[in-house]
Amino acid sequence: MPKDARERQILDKLVLIRDELLLLKRDRTKYIRTQDVMVHYDQLVEQVMHLNEIRKGEHKGENRLDKVLESCFQLISLFFMTIGRTTEAPAAYALTSTIKRLLDHLTESRLFSAKDLNSIADTLGKLDGILKNTNSEHSPYLVELLANREELCKKMLVDLRKQLDELEEPLQAVYERLISILRSMSLANTKAKFSTTEVQKLRANLQEIDESRVNGKFVDKEGRELRGSDVVSDLLQRCLLWSDIVLERKGVIPEAFKSTYDTLIGIRNELEKLSLTQAWSLRETDLYDFQRELDKIDEARVDGNWLDQDGKPAELYVQRTLLYLIRRSYGYIYYLMISSEPVSEALLPIYNQLQTLKRCLIEVKNSGGVSSVRELYPYSMKLNSIDNMRVDGKFMVGDDIPEGQGSVSELLAECFDLNYELRLAAEELENGGSDSPASTTAQTTTT
């Protein structure tokens, strides 16, 4: 607990803000409104200002207040995503937390691919743009905190890239393949029904790579040892050892760690489902509970490993299996965050319908269009019904104007344009050629 009485007062108010945010998160009877989120955000910023005045830039160690403050910012960040304000500084907080956690694990394991780093680099680039364009309505404390986090993540990313750059180009493809095989084995190891055949096939791929070496080295066509051969050979041996262990254990976890394993399997499976149906079923604030549970398990490690009730560390098989599930789950959370649409959950049903319509129209166009205008009637009727939902050009929910109006209207316009192009082409086809009035109209429109 904070020793300063003033900090304890702030802590009490932060606990109240956090509890109200949790209640708002759990309420499924109505969608989350922007004004509800902003009230709590303003309250949070006010407490941060008071805290800064008390500490005056000096911080003598972390206490309970810092933990609760972090929870509040994490929740507010996910709420900003939920209401569609994904391009504002508060929305970046939860994402930077997840990126930092992913980079910590990649650094610890030294097992990552160029694709992993490229994705994170792209996301950090977008966050950089958000922070540079942020306006004065957001807390300077938050903006500074995010900038420092982003800078730390960039430095970690540079260090990880250096490890890949040590590999000569031909070996980078081999390294990527080994990482892919290793992850595939770990996935097979955590399936509900263990498949020996699946793991044996993956091991055969490893043996094929092993046989491509010359005297235990990776060499080029001239027989010259490639730079980074030892690093890739070491990874190959780790993969072969892991395949032996997995084939021996067949997915059976000791009773001492079964509870933790079952929890992680449940989280991984739930997040996997959400990644497949997120457009229709995800409320970003739901990720808070997954994150908290994962953080709790991850931070329970001692010197990188878990201990049983007697204080004995988990064996290698258990440690790697649990770490795989944690990292996989963080990966899903990261994917779900960067996939968050800049639209309020109130408008998501309309937005998702338009996304589906757009995909259908593009598919129709790419497959040669339609033979008659009549075939477009279902699309036209659906588009018109959505367009008719607008009041003075806005999609309303009661008396509210939810966030994301521009994104939905833009998507609706794209669908209308696609539908119009297909109709013109169908009319031209029906009228029998380029001399038809429809063709002339199409040419005039294009010009």
Q: Which residues pair with 394 in a beta bridge?
A: 391
CA-CA distance, 342 to 151, in Å (whole number)?
25
Q: Which residues pair with 302 in a beta bridge?
A: 305
Under 8 Å between Cβ of 350 and 408 = yes
pLDDT at residue 205, as a whole number: 96
In the chain, the amino acid numbered 305 is: N
pLDDT at residue 445, as a whole number: 40
Nearest to 250 by CA among 185, 189, 323: 189
Sign of the Cα torsion 78, 79, 81, 82 reads positive
Nearest to 75 by CA among 123, 104, 36: 36
pLDDT at residue 439, as a whole number: 42
pLDDT at residue 400, as a whole number: 87
Three-class DSSP category at 214: strand
pTM score, two decimals? 0.88
Distances (CA, A) of 186 to 107, 114, 199, 336, 399: 19, 19, 9, 22, 51
pLDDT at residue 398, as a whole number: 82
Query: What is the number of H-type helices and E-type strands within the chain?
Result: 16, 2
Residue with tokens 């032996």: 244
Which tokens belong to 354? Answer: 């338009």
CA-CA distance, 214 to 209, in Å (whole number)?
11
Nearest to 141 by CA among 61, 54, 214: 54
pLDDT at residue 270, as a whole number: 95
Three-class DSSP category at 133: coil
pLDDT at residue 136, as a whole number: 67
Q: What are the start-end ranges of the H helices in 62-139?
A: 64-82, 89-109, 114-132
Q: What are the start-end ranges of the H helices in 282-347?
A: 287-298, 316-338
pLDDT, mean of each 10-residue run, the chain (447 residues): 85 96 91 92 92 76 87 95 92 94 94 92 92 78 89 95 92 95 96 95 96 92 92 95 96 95 97 84 90 95 94 95 97 94 91 94 93 92 95 88 92 96 90 52 39
